[in-house]
Amino acid sequence: MERRIGIFGGSFDPLHRGHLALAAGALRELDLDQIYFVPARSSPLKPHGPVLAASQRLKEIRIALKPFPRFKVSDCEIERQGPSYSFQTVLSFRRKFPSSALFLLMGSDTLKDFKKWKNWREILSQCQLGVARRAGNEENLRNLRKELKGKIHWLKSRIPSVSSTEIRLEPYLRKHLTRERFAHTLGVAKFAEKLARAHRLDVRRAKLAALLHDLAREWDEKELLRYVQKHSLKVPEKKFTCERQPILLHSFVGADLARNIFFVQDRKVLSAVEKHSLGSLKMSPLDKCLYLADLLAPDRKFEEAAQLRRLALQNLDRAFVEGVRSKRNYALKKHALAHPLSVRVWNRFVSDKTP
């Protein structure tokens, strides 16, 4: 009888419940005999290697999979020198299981980059794909679905919206933020997810940007200034910001920390983190989502907050305009110094809409 084997590759840095949920769904829906977890030595599509050492990842995966007799671990990619190419792994499994049906397992977030993989056509000649739709990742895969029709088995099981970056983030945030700031960050993330769903944005990107947005908010002004100078960060109105409002540097330092500590390379996420305080003359829907999620988090108690929250769920663009107006009015009441960029944002988005 033909055996059915699942191959599940990834950095597993670390292995988390999303991975196990995908594997469990594939095991059941594809009627697999076994699933092999194949941790990568280094991904050719990721500029930074895994945070955890290969030996530590292998050890943790083996411990986590002990209760699941049909889940196995293969170290073939870790033992192989150089980048971990999936076509080599699939060919290795084909040699090991010459008469078995092979299924390469992945989430829909991985599938969107499938045609960037080396020798992706060779992969399809040797196996089929088992793809789970990832919650909050409804990227446009229509053309790819048509092109790979007959080779993709869409799993009914949805995997939770969780990433390895988010798992590493939480203990960092708990350690480096005050209890109040940590609670605020979780509130921002929750509202950002809600806004993203309401406006059909990528929920995972919105949540990740929200968790990252205040990475450097607890730093004092001298620390922020030293970091900006040391790393030559690009900051709008840099001289003014450094001399007059250095606390606003936390947005740009936070984005750089996200890039260099947590290896976040998603430009849309990093843009949202940079723009969440001052805004910008060019604001993407994700930029507006985080700007509003921070402004309208549950711990914000200003007079029109509840009304603005309702508006934000209905119309992101109008809510952004009103959010900029609200921030400006608050600054005027407090006789606070107006940042030049915030003035330009006001002029760009609000002044021409003011009766």
pLDDT in tens, 12-51: 888 888 899 899 999 999 999 999 999 998 877 765 666 6
Q: What is the DSSP letter of 13?
A: T
What's the CATH class of domain 4-159? alpha beta
What integer pLDDT is reported at residue 149 of this predicted model?
Answer: 78
Residue 352 has a pLDDT of 58
7 forms bridges with which residues in the sheet? Answer: 36, 104
Distance between CA atoms of 41 and 164, rounded to whole angstroms?
Answer: 16
**278 three-class SS:** coil
Q: In this predicted structure, what is the pLDDT of residue 166?
A: 80
Domain boundaries, the chain: 4-159, 164-353
Is the CATH number of domain 164-353 1.10.3720.10? no
End-to-end alpha carbon distance in the chain: 76
What are the phi and psi torsion angles at 52 (to 5°)? -80, 145
Find out whether 251 and 276 touch, Cβ atoms under 8 Å. yes
Question: Which phi and psi angles does 145 have, rounded to 5°?
Answer: -60, -45
What percent of the chain lies above the pLDDT cut of 70? 93
pLDDT, the chain, mean:
90
Helix/strand/coil for 159:
strand
Residue found by looking up tokens 């002004």 in the block: 221
Residue 30 is predicted with a pLDDT of: 96
Report pLDDT for 253. Answer: 97
pLDDT band at 263 (very low <50, low <70, confident <90, very high): confident
Compute the half-sphere exposure of residue 301: CA atoms within 13 Å on the CB side of its CA.
Answer: 1
**Tokens, residue 71:** 């889940």
Rounded to whole angstroms, the Cα distance separating 66 from 43 reads 26
Q: Which of 4-8, 18-22, 177-181, 314-318 has the lowest mean pLDDT?
A: 18-22
Residue type at 64? A
Over residues 90-113, mean pLDDT: 93
Assessment of whether the complete model's pTM goes beyond 0.75: no
Pick the range with the lowest mean pLDDT from 1-5, 19-23, 46-50, 207-211.
46-50
18, 106, 180, 263, 337 from 23: Cα distances, Å: 9, 9, 37, 26, 54
pLDDT value for 170: 84
d(CA 212, CA 264): 10
- Residue 87: name the closest of 130, 139, 138, 124 by CA: 124
Q: Indicate the SS3 state at residue 213.
A: coil
11 has a pLDDT exceeding 90 = no
Local structure of residue 74 (DSSP, 8 states): -
Least confident of 1-10, 107-116, 221-230: 107-116
Q: Could you report the per-residue pLDDT of 119-174, keeping only the tens digit for each? A: 999 999 999 999 998 755 455 566 777 778 789 999 987 776 667 778 778 888 99
